[in-house]
Amino acid sequence: MWQVAVVCCVAAAAIAAPSGEHSALSKEDLCAIDIDHSKYALNLINVAKNVSSAPRILCLVNTMSVHHNTRVQAIRDTWGQRCAKLLFFSNATDATTPDIVQLDTQADHNHLWQKHKHTLQYAWDHHRFDGFDWFYKSDDDAYVIVENLQAFLRLPEVVMRQDVVPLTFGKCSLRTTATSFCSHRYKLTPDLVDYYVVNKTLLAQFKQLTHNRWVFNSGGPGYAMNPLYVQAVVESLHRTTCLSDKYCEMLPDDAAISFCMAWYNVYPSNTRDLSHRERWHADKPRGVYFTDVTTPSYWLVQYHDGIGGAARHDACCSPDSVAFHYVLPPLMYHMERQLYYCRSDGDKDLAAFNARTGLAISSEILKPTRLAVEYGPAPDV
């Protein structure tokens, strides 16, 4: 018991210490530190062995200028290095970093579909001939385990179709347009659905086409699209069926792109593993592990309604998990540390880890920092 107490005291002192003092921590003590009760979910996850650089993934991250020095930098420092190419799409550029693309569109949460259309158009116009096998779109508060994403995209059932039909994979959600429509923080009532899809004839046709089921991949943790999918979207952006009407610009981008592709009879696939556990997660590790799934009014529970339901504790997460959402920089560095550095038994320090992997993971992962504001379900352990 006293040994556990010593570890806890060391961890508490380390988190409270000024950042310059963390280098004095041993790797063992550093890795004993937990942030935001994340260890329960993270301990369930296995990072796939990086046996191949294939498939080549172009990562497209949605951001805005106020996050360039925080969220953008954290992604650059961590998981973004494992993409074949990483691009951020923002309302402003940065002369010191060519990976930020400025888009001529409004930089707020109410114009995500408009911004996403510009993002896909840019990616297709500038990179379709660059040999990327997949395009991966996420928000700037996502954490992506790229090796697990690559391993999923190497599954035979994926490979045999990727050059034949448009495909997309991610965190699937469903709402019937006859009831509430929920996308992350958004809950679109029937009145709002009617508002966003201004063309009532089009809306009626969509309901008939999809049997009143609006299924989409969550844009927060992200989703993968093969080139055929991106091409189909880009070639459809001017069409009414792709919600080209200016009154549709405020529709959440993840729901809108699914609406657009439904006319091609292309829908998000089920990405759960054989034990029915989720690979893509609409919340951070604490949320997906501890959420009370018996509370029907909670957004995460509603988010899973009609597509297999939500699970908690050890059933929450597949060992092959790919991505989480609502991961702010301190938690992003923590996840990088716990999933990679702390599991590298042969590397005595970060320099050795980077030399072996060929990466340049930031020393920020050695500076555990509490979240400024903690939120989420209370741990019941």
Is 311 within the bounds of a domain? no
Lowest-pLDDT range, 16-30, 155-169, 305-319, 324-338?
A: 16-30
Q: What is the mean pLDDT of the chain?
A: 85
20 plus 147 within the same structural domain: no
Is 253 within the bounds of a domain? yes
157 plus 268 within the same structural domain: yes
Is 317 within the bounds of a domain? no
| Count of domains forming the chain | 2
Give pLDDT, residue 172: 55
Lowest-pLDDT range, 60-74, 117-131, 285-299?
A: 285-299
CATH at 225: 3.90.550.50
37 plus 103 within the same structural domain: no
* DSSP classification of residue 69: I
Rounded to whole angstroms, the Cα distance separating 64 from 173 reads 25
Is 121 within the bounds of a domain? yes
Strands 57-62 and 134-139: parallel
148 plus 65 within the same structural domain: yes
CB 171 within 8 A of CB 282: yes
Is 76 within the bounds of a domain? yes
185 plus 117 within the same structural domain: yes
Is 297 within the bounds of a domain? no
pLDDT band, very low/low/confident/very high, at 222 (cuts 50, 70, 90): very high
> Domain ends where: 249, 274, 299?
274
Instruction: Return the structure tokens found at 345.
Output: 């038994």
35 plus 93 within the same structural domain: no
102 plus 198 within the same structural domain: yes
Query: Bridge-partner residues for 59, per DSSP?
Result: 86, 136
Q: Is the pLDDT of residue 183 over 50?
A: no
> Domain ends where: 274, 289, 307?
274
197 plus 99 within the same structural domain: yes
Residue 55: cis peptide before it, omega within 30 degrees of 0:
yes
Predicted TM-score (pTM) of the model is 0.89
82 plus 150 within the same structural domain: yes
The domain of 36 spans: 2-45+324-366
244 plus 350 within the same structural domain: no
> Domain ends where: 241, 274, 307?
274
Give pLDDT tens digits for 165-181: 999 998 755 444 333 33
pLDDT band, very low/low/confident/very high, at 207 (cuts 50, 70, 90): confident
Is 294 within the bounds of a domain? no
Give Cα separations from 369 to 74, 143, 267 (angstroms).
13, 17, 40
Give pLDDT tens digits for 7-38: 444 444 455 444 444 557 899 999 999 999 99
Q: Is the pLDDT of residue 185 over 60?
A: no
Is 196 within the bounds of a domain? yes
113 plus 134 within the same structural domain: yes
37 plus 69 within the same structural domain: no
Instruction: Say whether 247 sits in a helix, a strand or coil.
Output: helix
Q: Is the pLDDT of residue 246 over 80?
A: no
Give pLDDT, residue 230: 97
pLDDT band, very low/low/confident/very high, at 217 (cuts 50, 70, 90): confident
